[in-house]
Structure 1
Amino acid sequence: MEIDNFIDIETEQLITKNIKEHGYHLGVIDGDEYLPSFAFTIGLYKTYNHPEIIIFGLSKEVMQVALNTICQNIQKKTTYTTATDYSDILNKYPVQFVEVAKDNYFNYLDYCSYFYDNTPNFPALQLVWTDKQGHFPWDKQFDEEWKFNQPLLDRNTDFKFYEEKELEVYTTKYTLQGNPILWVYHTHDGDWEFHSEEHPDIDNVQTITLGDLVQKDKSLNDVHILSYGQSAVRKDIDSPWEFADYEEED
């Protein structure tokens, strides 16, 4: 889901054209079996001094309609704020907005950052929707089946994975001795592997909860967007991760 901090000329021209003609541009990032789709605005802050908006986990069509409705209301001088119910955006279902933490801009608002001179110097709000019973994700009654369809970008920046902290993941004794994790695999079956060696000794395999592992190395949050069948590799703990598909060994 992480996107390169690069936009081709045609896309850049389209974004600029839409902002000039309409005041904003809508971007959509497709999801997959593991990661939810999301959609966002570009240009609201520049044109209307209003925070950009991002929404997760609904169909592309519904998200685009919702964002267009929001943008048209902003053009009519509506200002959306946090901790307020709005029932005129998603078929009368209540929605609220939360402030997006800056730590989440790199993963989800990179296109916006590119437009704002490659900086996070713009505010952003996340539209948060309810389950079918009208419960928000922070309500105890919220349907757990929907939990990972929309990450809440105002919180939990110390653990970004679309998983429970108690999930058992695979590593080795060598890694747990304090050696840096340089290879990460998210298998087609949904298992996670975190290693300090390219070819770890299977006899030394151990498990640890994902929450405990991330607590030891916060930089692992940068690979939370690995989908099934993908890997992440870095040269050392200070280097950026490189993402790729991989073939699992028999």
Structure 2
Amino acid sequence: MTDNHYKHDIETKQAILDNIEKYGCHLALLEADNYLPAFVYSIGLFKNFGHPEIICFGLKKEVMASIINHACDLIKRGETLATNKLYSGFLRGFDIQFLQVDKDYYPDYVGYAGWFYDMTFDFPVLQLVWPDKQHNFPWHKDFDPNWKFKQPLLDRNTDFKFYEERNLGVYTTSQAFNGDPILYVYHNEDGDWQFHTSLEPNLDDAKLVCLEEITKLDPTINELYHLQFGWWAWRDHKDDEWKYEEEIDEE
């Protein structure tokens, strides 16, 4: 962790403690990047009110903060928000619903909440899900396909965390399917993915396969679901943690 990251981490943790003491909860706001949507989640609702924390994706940060603050106000007044129920009053002109977040997603999205709860993920989280302009939710067959990946559904698909279709064509080499570990991953500026076993793969061995095949071949590839356009990741051995950074154009 660099000095700047360390300083930001310390300041963030102090803000979490201060806001929870003052308001009963803290809202963590994560910016969108060139690949993933912004999201906002609460910290402190479970400790102070025995209610699940709440997370929301894909809207403007100010809107997400507003609707989660509305949820917090309801919770402070004693209301318990539940799954499988339509709620009005959160998003003007539209109902919303809540899903129970699978704990397999906690390390990916609610890390500071884990820190607050004594470095554990022993707390519940609900995902606030919004519909498209025709009032269809993401699990409805007529949901706007252009919005499919604006809000991942965190109650399912823990075997495939990418924000793309399972059958997306990606590039690899035959060595990956012959037992060699995938050590180098590239998410190109144009959106293409490459998964290689060596730093300089032989293009004669190239294969086009479905992204799902790669995650089945090596489930740890799911850890790179967040890799931005124009970034790459690497590790020295299959059991090592991934390192990643933006690719440098050497033209």
Per the TM superposition, whether the score is higher than 0.5 is: yes
The percentage of aligned residue pairs carrying the same residue is: 47
Give the number of equivalent residue pairs: 247
Structure 1 residue 106, shift from structure 2 partner: 0.7
Distance 1:179 1:233, change over 3 A: same
Distance 1:171 1:6, change over 3 A: farther
Stretch of structure 1 that moved more, 198-207 or 115-124: 198-207
Match of 1:162 in 2: 163
1:217-232 equivalent positions in 2, closer than 5 A = 217-232=218-233
Aligned to 1:131: 132
Aligned equivalents of 1:14 and 1:168: distance in 2?
A: 43
Structure 2 counterparts to residues 206-225 of structure 1, below 5 A: 206-225=207-226
Secondary structure of the 1:222 match is helix
Structure 2 distance, partners of 1:168, 1:53, is 34
Structure 2: which 5+ runs fail to align? none
Q: In the alignment, what sits opposite 1:106?
A: 107
Distance in structure 2 (CA, Å) of the matches to 1:103 and 1:6? 28
Deviations along 1:137-160, whole A, 9 cap, x unmatched? 011111111000000000000011
Q: What's the C-alpha RMSD, in Å, of the aligned pairs?
A: 1.6
Distance 1:76 1:7 in 2: 33
- What stretches of structure 1 of length at least 5 have no aligned partner? none
Please report how far the alpha carbon of residue 69 of structure 1 lies from its aligned counterpart in structure 2 after TM superposition.
Answer: 0.6
Give the equivalent residue in structure 2 for 1:182.
Answer: 183
The one-letter code sitting in structure 1 at the alignment partner of 2:83 is T
Aligned partners of 1:180 and 1:237 also within 8 Å: yes
Secondary structure at 1:8's aligned position in 2?
A: helix
Partner of 1:17: 18
Once residues 139 and 6 of structure 1 are traced to their aligned partners in structure 2, the CA distance between those partners, rounded to angstroms, is 44
Using CA pairs under 8 Å that are at least 6 residues apart, name the structure with larger relative contact order, 1 or 2.
1
**3-state secondary structure, aligned to 1:149:** coil
- CA shift digits 1:147-175 (9 cap, x unpaired): 00000000000011111111110111222
State the shift of 1:12 in Å: 1.5
**2-side partners of 1:96 and 1:239: how far apart?**
39
- Cα offset for 1:7? 6.4
Q: What pairs with 1:48-197 in structure 2 (closer than 5 Å)?
A: 48-197=49-198
Task: Determine the C-alpha separation between the residues in 1 that align with 2:97 and 2:250.
Answer: 45
Alpha-carbon distance in structure 1 between the residues aligned to 2:142 and 2:196: 38
TM-score normalised by the chain length of structure 2: 0.95
Q: Using a 3 Å threshold, how does the CA distance of structure 1 residues 11 and 103 change in structure 2: closer, same or farther?
A: same
